[in-house]
Chains A and B, each alone.
Chain A
Amino acid sequence: MRALQYVSMLFVIIPLTALIVCSLIKRSRQNAAFYLLSAFAAAQVGLALYGLMLFNSLNISEYSFGFHITQAVADVFTLKPASLVMLLCIGLVSFTSLLVAYKTMPANKKLSYLRLLSALIIGMNGIVLVNDLFTMYLFIEIIGISSFVLISTTKTEEGLESAFIYLVMSSLASIMLLTGLAFIFMRTGSLKFEYLIAINNTSAEVSQNALTYLSYILVISGLLIKTGAVPFHSWLPDAHQSADTSVSVLLSGIVIKAAGVYCLMRVTDIFGNLYAIRLSLAILGVITIAVGAMFALHQNHFKRILAYSSVSQMGYMLLGISAGGILGFIGTMLHIFNHAVFKSTLFTNAAALHEEVHTLDIDKLGGLQKQMPITATTSLIAFLSTAGIPPLSGFWSKLLIIIALWKANFIGFAAAALVLSIFTAAYFLRLQMNVFWGQTPEHLQSIKEVKGTIRFAEIMLTIITIAVGLGFPFILLFLEASGII
């Protein structure tokens, strides 16, 4: 228990320390800060894994903690296995982002990137640890603000414009969230998760009036904006495309999931798994998958395709949430993890292309398989995983989500999810063919494979994709043996 106490506190202390160090350090020593933050991110991955092992050996389902000055204050944070998985993803994606940024970030922007990243990690770590709605909202805002600035660090016209759009859309989300929370508070007098769950599950006499439902709608819509689900997605492609690639890795890899999907999952649970909520998420999920994929088919910018692919994949997570049940939950968590891994791989590939070829317009690329074999192969594996080809990791999460949908009697949605996977394959095949396969144009003959941290990140993430895919049957067996599924 003591070990768990330290581990859980470290999740809060580490990013805070990072932020303080990065704020105090001099520009001349920014590389030291870089290494420190990378070490912190790696440490977070290790701690999250250690935490999962602790949870398993202690046989508990959650652990509440806080930083008490007096005993009167209640615990503000709760650690759960699900939050540990999220913390793992946060650590992993931040680490990847740092590896990419080491090469792509201009020297004069590095320090501010590091500071903002620390703030972002604070926000994300906080969001997966909180146990009341208002604190959750606060952390969402922290994430939002650090994201705007991260997107606009490049200070290009596009970057600023898309950051502005994100700002406006986020304010809309904030308004909705805050209004929704106010309504809920008006009715119940508390925003604690435990309290709300207790109310929604036991006391039917609390009137489920129109105002309650309105509050649910507002909260969910607000979170859907953060998720980037269609039709709330408009900010996402611009933001992901125009930001520096290391920032895109973060945004696509983890931010939309921590601030969006994960919160949605918690909120759905807290609101008592209402059928109306689940149905809305399922319908929007299918729309999101379809529309995201259709947009992705039309794009000519490598990162923009990836951004729309993220939108499309969010749809699968929404479907997973809507399925509910333990299978849906595990499927969604696994898809969050998988998406974090393979989308980071693909964005890292984008960074590699940008570093070596200096363009991401897929019409100007082509036949790079020979010149950049590692990038091409890692991209192919990530794309196969996204499309859900066994035995890669993406297959298992999609399978679980589809089985969960089937069991939840959402058979039509399960079929739709299955059929729409074809689109995933279609847009990635187009990408792969245009960029890596076929004849190499004259001007690309002299391109070399990317070196250093980016190559390392590509290989590391691909190994994770394959290893998780091959090892997941055993995780399933373990879950079955411990009676979870």
Chain B
Amino acid sequence: MINALFDIISNNMLLIFILLPAFVGLIMLFIRKRFAIQLAVLLLSSIINLIAAYTLFASESFSYVIPFASFGLDIVLVSNELSSLFIMLVAAMFLFVCLYSAFYLKHKKQFSVFMLYMYISLAMLNGAILSDSLGIMLFFWEGLLCTLLGMLLINNTSKPKAAIKALVLSGTADLLLMLGIILTAYQAKTMLINEITPIKIQGFVPTLGFFCMLFGAIGKAGSMPFHSWIPEAANDATTPFLVSFPGALEKLAGFYLAVVVTTKLYDLRPHSTISNIVMTIGVLSLLFAVSMALIQKDMKRLLSYHAISQVGYMVLGIGSGLPIGIAGAVFHMLNNAVFKSCLYMCAGSIESQTSTTDLKKFSGVGKCMPITSICFTICGLAIAGVPPFCGFFSKELLFDAALESNIVFYIGALIGAFMTAVSFLKMGRAAFFGKLKLPEEKKISESEAGMLVPMIALSIICIIFGVFNTLPLDTLINKGLMFEKSFSGWPHSILLVVISLVVLCIAVLDHLYGSKKSGSALNAADHIHYAPVLKTIYSIAERGYFDLYNQMNALFNVFAKICVMFERAVSFTYDTIAVNAALLPGKVMRRYHNGSLGRYLFAALCGVVIIILIFIAVLV
């Protein structure tokens, strides 16, 4: 009996990853106002999901085909090294972010709906990662867009600016992805990822296909130029949304696809032009976002720009096409998911006490919230790339790959690291240290334990992944990517380490100089902000000129004016000419349909004549 049950489960295991979360999500919708039960269901389901994911990762690769209709419309799910790795990472991150969200939204009325969206998103994510057919993957991908939109709408239904922006930008990215899939399938003559041998990127169609797919993938992860909805969401959406989506899950999804595109679908050669272009995009994305982050005065907004800049690092790594770059990128993605969601969690923790994340309105909460401040410090050090935290090791791998490709990329990456460190020094010092200042007079204390647990766990992971980096690099990533060379241990080039450390020191000095000059930690970056040339660039950026959405809007405005004439002609064609053309025959014929039997008989005889004529035409 139990064996039979076990068989059924193991046979349909891949389906469970999609059906279980969807089902739990529906359950969540119906349990209202009983937090203990909600929490139990949540923990149980996420842990089951994690255990199942681990078994998948530990087992051999296999595929599962659900026949659906004829004509090759089968749903093919595949568990191989890469997909099972990502399934496991998603499951682990999901557990943490879901736990945090539950406590954050405890007793709030959005709880059920938010959890429904979370679980449906998990189902879609699992489906997108597991599906072997590009077409089916696209279905799950679009499903993810729907839940994203839903989550952005929860808090702000009257003026959903961020939601619309996210829909337009992610929709554009998905459109590119769709085009890319069509082009890829056209070249490979199959939709199944496993059957595709990496396509050489030569000539127009493969290049276009590659870029469409890659942009679709990294667009989902929030890279430039599809990024600008994330800072907007920092104002509009709930913090749990930021923790889960821009923080962790979306990066994982987008990056999974990016890895698939560069390693399985297309043959991305290191040092090729294509590789250089991708790396340039990465560096630009990194530099732009990190310099925008530098001048932000709101924690969530600042973190959102960092969420974009870290994607730049990953794109840089993956674009190099080198094993060390790809391994570094995946490692950095994993680290980023850990520390970025933890940082968002810290921001949320502060927000739950002070009800603001605007650094101008509060400061020095460190003494009242010691655990939050410790977690924030650890993750801040990790994201800045200080040894021995995890971010340091992944960044060293990326620096290595960048240097091997071109020294320009290396310098860009270093500048990025410098600015990251500066902005985190500023935020950390302003928020946690120094004199206590609050928007209103009230006593604040540490957040409740349920929110702290995931934060502490993630911070510990930050340390573990740094100190014992064989664990993530060898056991997880190398198995998933099937690389033979190990990248774990201390970085092999001492020179690079020294350079990185020097850069960090310069960052600290710069911060000290800045805070002395401006008189407060918060304004420590002002001397960069208001430096002669940068000032103009920043003011342009602040006005949104680098925002694809705005550019698209502006472009569309010009385009729209040109189109108005055309549009009028078209609507005239549709509204007047086409409608009349469709209605006219009916009107004319209707006159003959007046009940006169003679006419009816005549029409029938005409029909006979038509048939006779067709017969004559065919036979003679």
Residues of A within 8 A of B (CB): 161, 165, 168-169, 172, 176, 213, 216-218, 220-221, 224-225, 229-232, 234-235, 237-238, 275-276, 279-280, 283-284, 291, 294-295, 297-298, 403, 423, 426, 472-473, 476-477, 479-480, 485
B62-86 residues with Cβ-Cβ distance < 8 A to A are 67-71, 73
The 8 Å CB contact of A297, one of B582, B600, B604, B607, is: B582
Which one of B585, B595, B597, B604 lies within 8 Å of A291 (CB-CB)?
A: B585
Q: How far is the CA of A307 from the CA of B607 in the complex (A)?
A: 20
* A to B CB contacts below 8 Å, 21 in the list: A165-B595, A168-B597, A168-B600, A176-B608, A217-B612, A221-B604, A221-B607, A221-B611, A231-B603, A231-B604, A232-B603, A234-B604, A235-B600, A279-B614, A280-B611, A280-B614, A295-B589, A295-B593, A298-B583, A480-B70, A485-B70
- Grouping DSSP codes into helix (H, G, I), strand (E, B) and loop, the A interface class, with mixed when no group exceeds half, is helix
Other-chain residue from A280, A477, A479, A480 in contact with B615 (beta carbon distance below 8 A): A280
A237 and B604 CA atoms in complex are apart in Å by 15
CB distance from A86 to the nearest CB of B (A): 24
Minimum CB distance partner of B584 in chain A: A294
Q: B604 and A169: CB pair below 8 A?
A: yes
Known: A280-B614, A298-B590. A231 touches B607 (CB 8 A): yes
Q: Which range contains the number of B residues in contact with the other chain?
A: 20 to 34
Q: Once bound together, how far apart are the Cα atoms of A479 and B615, in whole Å?
A: 35
Question: Secondary structure at chain B's binding surface: helix, strand, loop or mixed?
Answer: helix
Return the 8 tightest CB-CB contacts between A and B, nearest first: A473-B69, A234-B600, A294-B586, A276-B618, A231-B603, A231-B607, A280-B614, A298-B586
Please tell me which one of the listed residues A161, A168, A220, A230 contacts residue B611 in the complex, with CB atoms under 8 A apart: A220
Would you call A217 and B615 a contact (CB within 8 A)? Answer: yes
B607 and A294 contact, CB distance less than 8 A: no
Residues of B within 8 A of A235 (CB): 600
Q: How far is the CA of A485 from the CA of B71 in the complex (A)?
A: 10
Collect the chain A residues with CB atoms within 8 Å of residue B615's CB: 213, 216-217, 276, 280
Q: Which residues 320-351 in B have Cβ within 8 Å of A in the complex?
A: none
Query: How many A-B contacts at CB < 8 Å in the complex?
Result: 97
Cβ of B589 and Cβ of A280 under 8 Å apart?
A: no
Q: Are A294 and B610 in contact (CB under 8 A)?
A: no
B517 at the interface (CB under 8 A from A): no
Identify which of B589, B590, B595, B610 contacts A284 (C-beta below 8 A).
B610
B4 at the interface (CB under 8 A from A): no
CB contacts (< 8 Å) of A295 on chain B: these are: 586, 589-590, 593
Complex Cα spacing A217 to B618, Å: 13
Please give the residue numbers on chain B whose beta carbons come within 8 Å of chain A beta carbons, in ascending order.
67-71, 73, 582-583, 585-587, 589-590, 593, 595, 597, 599-601, 603-604, 606-608, 610-612, 614-615, 618-619
Chain A: CB-nearest residue to B67 = A477
Q: Are A294 and B597 in contact, CB atoms less than 8 angstroms apart?
A: no
Q: Cβ of A283: which chain B residues have Cβ within 8 Å of it? A: 610, 614
Give A311 to B108 CA distance when docked, in angstroms: 57
Quote the shortest CB–CB distance from B488 to chain A (angstroms).
48
In the assembled complex, the Cα of A476 lies from the Cα of B587 at a distance in Å of 42
Most chain B CB atoms below 10 A, which of A172, A218, A234, A235: A234
Query: Residue B69 contacts which of A213, A280, A477 (CB distance < 8 angstroms)?
Result: A477
Q: Chain B residues near A298: list those with CB within 8 A.
A: 583, 586-587, 590
Instruction: Report the Cα distance A386→B57, complex, angstroms.
Output: 47
Q: A453 to B590, alpha carbons, bound, how many Å?
A: 36
Residues of B within 8 A of A224 (CB): 607
Residues in B with CB closer than 8 Å to A279 are 614, 618
- Write out the residue numbers on chain A whose beta carbons fall within 8 Å of the beta carbon of B582: 294, 297, 423, 426
